[in-house]
Each structure stands twice: as C-alpha cells, then as structure tokens.
Amino acid sequence: MLLFLFTAGFTLIFGLMKIINLTHGSYYLFGAYFGIMVISFVKNLLFTAIIGGIGIAIIGMLMQRFLLHRYETSHQTQVLLTFGFTLFFADLALSIWGGEPKTIPLPHLLEGSIRLGMLTFPVYRLALILIGLLTAATLWWFLRSKYGMLVRAGIENEEMTAGVGVNISLLKTLTFASGAFLAGLAGVIGGPIIGVYPGLDMQILLLSLVIVIIGGMGSLKGAFIGSLLVGLIDTFIKALVPTFSLFAIFSIMAVTLMVRPSGLFGTE
Amino acid sequence: MKTFIKTLALFALLGILPLLLPSYYTGILIRIMILIIFAMSLDILMGYTGLTPLGHAAFFGISGYTMALLNLKVFHGSNPFIGFGAGIAAAIFCAAILGLIVVRAKGVYFMMVTLALGQMFWGLAVKWQQLTGGTDGVAGISRPAFAFISLNFSKEINFFYFVFVLFGLSYLLISLFVNSPFGHTLIGIRENEKKMEILGFNIWLHKYMAYVIAGAFAGLAGMLDVYYYQFVSPEVLDIGNSIGALIAVILGGSGKLFGSVIGATIYICLEQFISAYTQRWVMVVGLLFIFVVIFAPLGLSRLLSAFWVSFKKPTEVK
Amino acid sequence: MKALRIDNVAKNFGGLQVLRDILIELEEGARLAIIGPNGAGKTTLINIISGVLKPSTGRIFLFGTDVTGISPYLRSRLGLSRTFQILSLFPNLTVLESLLLSVMPLRSNQLSLLRPIGMFKHLSDISQRLLEQVGLWEKRGMIVSNLSHGEQKLVEMAMSLSQSPKVLLLDEPLAGLSPGETVLISSVIRSLPSKVAMIIVEHNVDAALELAGRVVVLNQGMILAEGTAEEVRRKPEVQEVYLGTEESWKSWTDFRKRRGEQTP
C-alpha cells in the first residue's frame, strides 16, 4: 500500500503531465527524513505526514516550475535531469543525516495488532491499507472530476485550454506538487515500518518503476494493481527465498515486457 | 586519412606519457582509458543507435565479478586468463539474454527497464553474500601475467601497457564498426526509425546486435577496472557508475567516438581534482550531470567542431 | 501482363463507403494520373495500393501476383514503391548519407560489421545515379533539413527509386511547392526512366494532366471518368465537378488568359 501511494504520485505526474520524474524516490527519502526531524516537535504522526508532504510538494513545485517545465517534450532529458537530481539529493541526505538507518516511532493509537479470523495484523498496516484505499478512491474520483479533465485537456492541447481561460501553468504545477506531496507523505507514513536509510530512495523508486512497467505507465488502475501484485510477491518470496526477491519481481517485469510491452493497463 | 594520422599521433603520445610523468599519473591514465572504453560502449547505443541505457554498468560489473570470483574461488589465482575470457563471455551472455527483453522497449521505457535491470544486478551482488561477499566485495585479485614473457603486471607501468594495447584495439574495432554499413544503419535508426523500417531494415536485429556488442565492450572495461583495483564490490554495478559513463559521453559529445575520449578525460580529471577537496564528490557529480544535460546536451566535441568549422572556409565536399 | 491491376476494389470504414467499384489497369511504363476533388478517396486508394490499408473487397495484382494481403515493405520488395505527402526523411543526415541508407537493404550485407562503408563502391555508384536523376548530385553534401521543401521532395523521390521499383506511386508530389519548384519537380517526374510505371495522385489538375498519358477522375469514391488527358478534360462531368458548369469554365480560362497563364 505504501508502494501504491508512492507509485500513484509518480503516475499522476506521468499520466497527467507526461513528465518522468526519477527524483520521486528522493522525495520519499526526504519526506521520511523530514518526518523524523519534525516528529520530535509535533508528536502527531498524521500531522507530521501532512507537513512532510507539503514540504516535499514545495520542493517539487520549485523543481517543476523552474526546471522541468522547459523540457516537457523531451522524455530523455527529463530522465537524465531527474536522475542527476537523485544523485545530488542522495548525497545531500547522506551529508546531512549520516548513514545510520533511522525510524519514526509508531503512534500510540495504532500500536499493537488485531486478530482478524486466524491471522494477526499489525494495526498500523491496516491503517496504511485504509489510507491507501482512501487515496485511490480520492484520486479516481478526482481524475473523473472537472479538475482532472481540465488537466488532461491541458496536456493534450495546451494552447486551446489556455485560450479558454484556464491557467494551465498553475494547474500543471499543482498537479506536480500533488504527486510530490504523495511521495513525501508516503515517506513519513512509511517511517515506522521501513525506516529511513541511504539507498532507500533508489530501492523504492526501483520497485515503483517495476510496478509502473507491469501496470502500465499512465494508468492509476495499473499502479494500484501493480502495487498489490508486487507487494504480495515481494512478501511471499522474501519469506521463502529472500536473496531472490528482487530477482523474482524483475522476472515478472521482464515477462510483462516481452508479452505486453505497454503494461497491463498502459496508455502509451 | 588525416584523422587517422591525428589519432595515431595522439595514441603515440598517450603511449609515451607514463614514461614522462610521475608514476602517480599512470594510474590516472589507466582509469581514463578504462572509462573511455566504457563510454564508447555506451555511445554505441546512445550516440549511434539512439537508445540510452541507464543500467550499462551491469555489464561492467558482471564481467568483473565473474572474473574475480573465478579467479579466486576456482583457480586460486593460477590461470588469470581463463578468468579474463570468462568475464567477457559472461558480459556477452548477459547482454544476449537481457537484450532479448530489453531491445523491444522504446524510448523512455528502454531507459527505465535498463535502470531497473541494472539495479537488480546491484541488488543481487549486495544480497547474495555467500557468493559475492555483499558490500565487502571480493579482494585480492591478481592481475594477469604472461607466463612466457616474464612481464609482471603488478607493476603499474606494465599494466598500463597491457591496458593500452587493449584500449587501442577497442578503439580500432569500434571505429571500424561505426563506419561500416552496420554502423550507418544504426545512425539511420537513430534518425528515423520508421523510415528505416519502410526501407526494409531489420530494426530489431540491428538494435540487438548493437546492444550485445556494447555489452561486450562494457564488460571489457569492467574487467580491466577490476584488474586495476584488484578488488570488486557492488559499487561497480551501481547507477553511480553508469552515470559516470553517461556524463563522459554527454559531456564529450555523443555520436562521435572522440567525444568519449574527451568526456572521459575531463571526468576523471575533475574527479581527481574535486575529491581532493571534498568527500561530497557524488553530489558534485549529480550537479555536474544536471549542468551538462541542461547546457551542453550535444557535448563539448560538437561545440568544438562547430567552433572549428566556423574558422575554416567552406570547402568542396568530397 | 499488366504492371498493376486494381480489381473491383471497394473500401468502407464502418458504415461509410469510401471507395466503390474501382477497376484500374496500368501497363508497364505507363503514366497514370488520379485526380479528383477533396474527399474523393484518392488517398485511401493509394493507401490500398501500397498496402497501408486493406480493401474491404477486391484485389490488387502486381505483375500478375496477388498482393492484396501483403505488407507495404514486402510490396516494395516486389517492385512497388511510393512517396508520401508528409515527408519522412533523415533531417540531420546529408543527402548522400540518406541515399546510401536507402540503397543498402537490397544490395549489401547489412550486417557487415567491420569494413568501412566507403569500401562498398556499388552503393555510392547507385546513389550517385539516383541523385543525378533528380538533379541533386551537387547538393549531396548538404544536410537534408537545410534543403528547400522542393529539394526535400526530390530526396524523397530519389529514395523511393532506390529499390528500382517497377511501379511508383507518387502521393501529391507537387503539394506545397512554389511555382518554380513545381516546374522543377514536374520535369524530374517527366524524365524518370520510361520503364517505371507511375501513378500520380495530384490536386494540381493542370500539372497532373501534363504529366500523365491517362487520367482517372475520382469523385465520391467512384470512377467518374477515365481516358487520355484530352478526353477527360473535355468531359462535362469532370468540368462540372471541378469547375462548376461550362460557363464558369470559360470565364475561368479567360481569367487565366488575362493573367498570362497557360490554359488547358
């Protein structure tokens, strides 16, 4: 579910804006680190998450406004640019926070686990699933809404939409910011479970890429199903043959590419 | 003909350099040559075919690891040349298999898939501790030695010439390759793939072969790298390494072999220089990369040649 | 045997009948123009002949071989070549490089890896011949994107000749050209080897009528008239479709005479 939040942000940016943002991973990382810093003051996870999300959104907005929007046509440049930023941010994080893994403490309310039938689930994870579902629903509704259509229209035909009086530039920035927000949010929320450590940004970006390739690049549905699939398989294989968990996931990606290069629900 | 002589002269110069400069520089020259081979292999895909792989370090590392592990665990340092052959074979083998999957992807998909695959190998190297030693890496690898010529490659300067010869061969082979009909076809594919399809070229086959060849040379570079450091760790498979080659190609100019030479040289020199002042070399690399992508996407060699052309009078084209 | 035979071809997209009862035969070395107002179905017909589209009914025969189900690429190997209205070139390569590429597929070992392309003399010889045919040999070193639109069309034409086609389809070769360029391209078309059969689809009626021996007029997906250029010109149905009635035709020719332009 965590993966979904993260991937949804990525897909939002790609599906709506056709921008590939590899820095998304760094957003997560920074969100998490940020969360760690803030939580010592705020003591409330939800609040921290939102602040974290907003903080990252701001960084995202800056990046988009001043840099990325000039390269809307060239995917290759976007990839290379955001790739460079990833390196930069990763090292920055290393220098600021050091190489030790860190975690965010679980909020009291959500500690412990409950029993559902025969299985025990940590409450926090259930909460995560709920948030994930909620976000999915919101996004889905949102995309069908007027706003979503406006953005999509804006991407298809910028001049016309602007001509009709819509502030496309603002919409674009907001969309990008929302995507970044999701990443930052995910970072904070993931804190208690996965923690934060150098290299996390690449790891989660990677899984996200796999999800996006399997599920199809522009599709939120694909992101959702892809995340579920990958998450399940990952957990499954980790329990059986931990060394090969990554390998297994990548094999599925490879198969998908061979059989259906645009992913399960791809829009490209 | 003129370029041939110029290139030959430069090679000769390079060959003499370690005799003239203090031994500290020999190591740098070796690293430059290795990076040039790596960058050229990347350029085959990037500059000539139009495919930009983000995980090219995979081949660099696969060959290195294969050679290192065989060297240490199987032969215990006795027959380094089998390791050498096996390393390249491993790189070619992986490129052949990965190529089947990867070459069908277009544009951005290609970038993402190669990135993912590259990181997969990195992850494998880190996690599979029994085999690879995880992040500790594999140490104590001996350099190859010709038994019949009593050349000891542990001496830096002898190793330099070993690399030098291989470097020269690689440069020669890749130049021939790039000027052949096959090379021109790759350029055509880069320029207008649809048209090439209509004209009747087998696009997939060309891309695939380019991928395997690029993988082979990357593998060569990787092995020389491991020989040099006599140590291999997951870092050789990491994106940082791929980015190094990317920077070298972009900085120097993709699409022209000599661009890789310029780019690699600048990159290593910068690295030497900046690492002396700060530990945050990676950050600098990131910034440098961003800078290059924004301001000099065509690379310095294009800039230079455009500059050069504006000086000469327009001449009759042969 | 006819070079090309379009046998009772019809095409509909869903409920929309775009072509109907098309029966055309082309002799070896013949020049045929297909004209007609916008929406008559000319482009669809060309697409069907070249293999981009499949006809709903009917068959296409190339030198007696049924090519109806065969892809454009295979048809080109059988001797059918075509130019496109929207040029698809290699903008950053030189004229010569573009031609070398188009000449390569049938004639050399594409996978030859180590010998420099300069050593394949026959490739450059053929390229030279083709470029001379269209008059671009002197400009062979120029980058394609730096050429004028007309010159780019000539590059496209040279490239389409590189497979030594026996039947050449020219899709609006004169579209978007200045009068000067029109004259240039027309003369190139006229001077193409006489054994190449050609179908020229054109909007420019005057030019098309001058370049072709026979003409087929399409209107609303059907053949309205066919015959020699002279015959077709005089047919009232044709004049009506293009020019309104005979009277407006007369005033139009007067108008052009006054402007000093040639009139049919």
> In this predicted model, what pLDDT tens digit does every residue of B252-295 receive, in sequence order?
877 778 888 888 888 888 888 887 777 777 777 778 777 777 77
Contact at CB, C117 and B180, closer than 8 angstroms: yes
| C175 burial level (CB within 10 Å; 0-12, 13-18, 19+) | middle
Query: Which DSSP category does A114 fall into?
Result: E
Which of C70, C110, C126, C138 to mutate to probe the B interface, most B CBs <10 Å? C110
Confidence band of B149 (pLDDT split at 50, 70, 90)? very low
Separation CA B190–CA C93 (nearest Å): 11
pLDDT tens per residue, range B205-250? 889 999 999 999 999 998 888 888 878 888 778 777 888 888 888 8
Question: Cα–Cα distance between C5 and C20 in angstroms, integer?
Answer: 15
The pLDDT value given to residue B294: 75
Percentage of residues in chain C having pLDDT higher than 90: 0
SS3 label, residue A102? strand
Mean predicted lDDT score pLDDT of chain B: 79
Q: Is there a contact between B293 and A84 if contact means CB atoms under 8 Å apart?
A: yes
Q: pLDDT digits over A23-58, tens only?
A: 777 777 777 777 666 666 655 666 666 776 777 777
Angle ∠(C54,A266,B47) on CA atoms, nearest 5:
85
Predicted-assembly ipTM surpassing the 0.85 threshold = no
Q: What is the pLDDT of residue A268?
A: 42
Task: State yes or no: pLDDT of B36 exceeds 80.
Answer: yes
Radius of gyration of chain A, Cα coordinates, nearest whole angstrom: 18
Distance in angstroms (rounded) separating the CA atoms of residues C25 and C18: 20
Contacts of A248 in chain B (CB under 8 A): none
* Coil/strand/helix, residue C224: strand
**pLDDT tens digit string along A51-103?**
767 777 777 777 776 666 666 666 777 777 777 787 788 777 777 777 677 77
Of C73 and A122, more confident = C73
Residue B40 has pLDDT above 70, yes or no: yes
Q: What is the arithmetic mean of pLDDT over B283-308?
A: 69
Q: What is the pLDDT of residues C152-192, one digit of tens each?
A: 888 888 888 887 888 899 888 888 788 888 888 888 888 88
Is any Cβ of chain B less than 8 angstroms from the Cβ of A13? Answer: no
In this complex, which of C72, C111, C117 lies closest to B198 when CB atoms are compared? C72
Question: Which chain B positions have a beta carbon within 8 Å of A213's beta carbon?
Answer: 109, 112-113, 116
Report which of residues B129 and B9 the model is more confident about: B9
For chain A, what are the domain ranges? 2-196
**Euclidean distance between CA atoms B16 and B7, whole angstroms:** 14
Contact A220, A264 (CB under 8 A): no
pTM for the complete prediction? 0.79
pLDDT surpasses 70 at A107: no
Q: Which residues of B touch C73 (CB under 8 A)?
A: 197-198, 200
**Can you list the domains of chain C with their CATH numbers?**
4-87+164-258 (3.40.50.300)
Taking phi over 0 as left and psi of -120 to 50 as alpha, with beta for the rest, A43 belongs to left
Tell me the per-residue pLDDT of A218-258, one tens digit each, with 9 for 90 and over.
666 666 777 777 777 776 666 666 666 667 777 777 777 76
The stretch B149-172 carries a mean pLDDT of 75
Tokens, residue C24: 């055309």
Q: Does C143 touch chain B (CB under 8 A)?
A: no
A115-141 confidence digits (pLDDT tens): 665 566 666 666 667 777 777 777 777
Q: Give the pLDDT score at B318.
A: 36
Q: What is the pLDDT of residue C262?
A: 59
Determine, for residues B194 and C88 on separate chains, whether the beta-carbon distance falls below 8 Å: yes
